[in-house]
Every structure is written in C-alpha cells, then in structure tokens.
Amino acid sequence: MNTKTLLTTAVAATVLMGPALAMAEYRIGITQNNVGVDSYQTTYERAFIEAADANSDVRAVVLDAGGDVARQIAQVDDLIQQNVDAIIIWPTNGEAVIPAVRRAQNAGIPVVVTNSNIAEQGFDFIRSFSGPDNVTQGRRSAEIMCDKFKDMGIEDEAQVVHITGQPGYTTAIERAGGFEERLPEVCPNVEVVDTQPGDWNREKAQQVMEAFLTQYDDIDGVYSGDDNMGVGALNAARAADRDGIIFVGATNFAVGYDAMAAGEYWGSIYQSPVDDARAALQTAIDVLDGEDVPFLNYFDTPKITQDNMDQFTKPVF
C-alpha cells in the first residue's frame, strides 16, 4: 500500500511539475530532541534553519520533539508520510526511535542521526551519524594537558586526577577512553592517580574533587569529562586554596570559557552547535547526492586553551 502511494506521488509529481522542477530541490526533515531545554540545542536549531535557508537546493521541515519520545516517533512517521527525501534525527532515546527509523528505511528514505548516536541495533537502518568524535576529544584533552606540563617542565613528575561523566553513557566512556589511551603516549611519566565519576553534574564533581584534595597532597592536573564538571572541580580547589593545578575539560561551556579568560582554567575542547547543525545538513545532502559518506561522519572539535581562546566566540551554553 505504501509503495503504491509512493509510486503514485512520484509519478504525479513528475507529470505535474516536470522532471526539472521535481529534481531542483531536496526536502529534508529534521526532528530534534528538545530545542528549548538548553542553549546548545536552541543555537543548533537556529544554525540549522540558517544553513538550510542559505542553500537554494534544500527545503527543510524543522520539527522538535520537545523531549517526548512519542512525539518524535509521530514526527518521523509524519515525515515518512510526507515523503521527504531524507530525515535527520536527534534521538530523544537512542533505542526507542529504532523501529521508527526502520520504517523510514523501509520507505526508502535515508536517515542521518545527528549529535548523539542511536544504539547499535539500529545501525543497519541509518546511513550516517553526524556528530562529535568523543574519543578524539579525549585524546586531544590529554595532549592539551601534556603540552602544558611540558611548558611548565613537570612532564616527568606530574600527577593527574580524572573526573568522568555519568557511568554507562557512551560519551563519557569514549572521552575517558581517549584520554587514558593518549596520555601515556605523549607524556609517559605522568600518572593518573585516581578516577571517579562526576555524573556530568557540577556539584557532584565538586564533591569528588574535595575528596581528591584531602586524599592527595600533590595534584598537578585535573581532567573532567566536560567543563561543567571541570568548573565544579575548580571551585573545590579554590575553596581549599590549592593553586597551580592545571584544569582541562571537554565541551567548552560558557562557565569554562569565563574561567579560562580569568586565567584559572587551562583548556578544553570547543564543540560548536553551529558546526554540529551544518555538519548534519551537509551529511544529509551528501547522502542524497550519492556521495560516499563515512558511516561515522565526525565534525571537527578543536582544542581551545588560554593561548588561543581569542579565536573562538564564547559558547552560548
């Protein structure tokens, strides 16, 4: 029944509009996670709409699930029904959307996942994932920290503590893995003395750091899975009057950026929602153009430190 409708619509479109017009543009639908909830997602949506408007070959249907899985599934079904050329999805739940994504694939509509990936059982039904490479982010954080230790001349004795994100979250696992793998490669004598989860939470990270500070007299560096936790750790160190600790994070937040400007926080990884949005749209267009798109299509998330932060605008989140 579905294929019949598809065929009829396709034939009708071709007959009515003429092949030239029908081919002139891609209709791309996007369903986002929860636009109003934080400024990363708000900026992402604005950037996506701007990028789509700027491209005369693209007409975008921009939808927001408002964090509601049921609504996101309904939106995917609506987009299939509207017979768009491609669907971009920012999953509200990496597993719950898999059946809906399968329906899109069965209807012949390529699906691109953006920002955070769906679970592995769904990989067969999507064309590409466009988002940050968290392993590389972890590796780069290790390099930032090692380079700073070398500048300070303490690369042979430095001790580091590590505050990870929420246990079980892919992002947390990948970043921690990248950091722990890269640090001994660049600074073999730096020791990671302890690792504890901060659950992406600033207060939790502060408590973890307070415990570290009482436990270890010599801490030269702190790596946190994101700047939110990094600033929590910084607060703990400030309260304990422990100076000279090098803080490195990931996903540069506005608070991290400010702390860097104040000279208290050393570096992070710059992840721009604008780049994220543009990469997602470009990935969908490349898929539709028939180009060979890598399954994991990462956008670049550069290093940001006190030295080069003037090249980056302050994050909005």
Partner 1 sequence: MISEFIKRNLSTSAIWLFIIFELLFFSIAGHYLSFSDGAFMDLNNMLLLLNQSAPIGIIAVGMTLIMVNGNIDLSVGAVFAIAGIVMLDSMTWPVFAGLGDWVIVVSWTLALLAGALLGALNGLIVWKTGVDAFIVTLGSMLGYRGLVFMFNGENPTSHLNWTLIDFAEAQFLGFNTATWFLAASVLVIWLVTRYTVHGRNAYAIGNNRNAAVNAGIRVGPHMVINFVIIGFLAALSSVVFYSGSGSVNPNDGQLYELWVITAVVLGGTKLAGGSGSVIGTLGGVIAIQLLRKGLGYIGADTSTVNLVIGLILIVVLFIDRQLNVKGAQELRV
Q: Which residues bind partner 1 (CB under 8 A)?
A: 1-2, 5, 9, 12-13, 27, 35-36, 59, 61-71, 73-75, 77-78, 81-84, 92-100, 103, 119, 121, 166, 168
Q: Which is nearer to partner 1, 5 or 308 (CB)?
A: 5
Minimum CB separation of residue 36 from partner 1 in Å reads 7
Phi, psi (5° rounding) for residue 96? -65, -25
For residues 148 and 193, what is the distance between their CA atoms, to the nearest angstrom? 18
Strand 296-299 vs strand 128-132: parallel, antiparallel, or unpaired?
Answer: parallel
Minimum CB separation of residue 301 from partner 1 in Å reads 24
Q: Are 266 and 148 in contact (CB under 8 A)?
A: yes
Minimum CB separation of residue 212 from partner 1 in Å reads 24
For residues 42 and 83, what is the distance between their CA atoms, to the nearest angstrom? 26
Minimum CB separation of residue 204 from partner 1 in Å reads 12
Q: Could you give the dihedral angle defined by the CA atoms of residues 47, 49, 54 and 59, in that order, rounded to the nearest 10 degrees? A: 150
Q: Which is nearer to partner 1, 49 or 186 (CB)?
A: 49
For residues 8 and 284, what is the distance between their CA atoms, to the nearest angstrom? 25
Q: Which is nearer to partner 1, 42 or 159 (CB)?
A: 42
Q: Are 172 and 165 in contact (CB under 8 A)?
A: yes
Q: Which is nearer to partner 1, 77 or 307 (CB)?
A: 77
Minimum CB separation of residue 225 from partner 1 in Å reads 15
Q: How many CB atoms sit inside 10 A of residue 231's CB?
A: 24
Q: Which is nearer to partner 1, 64 or 147 (CB)?
A: 64
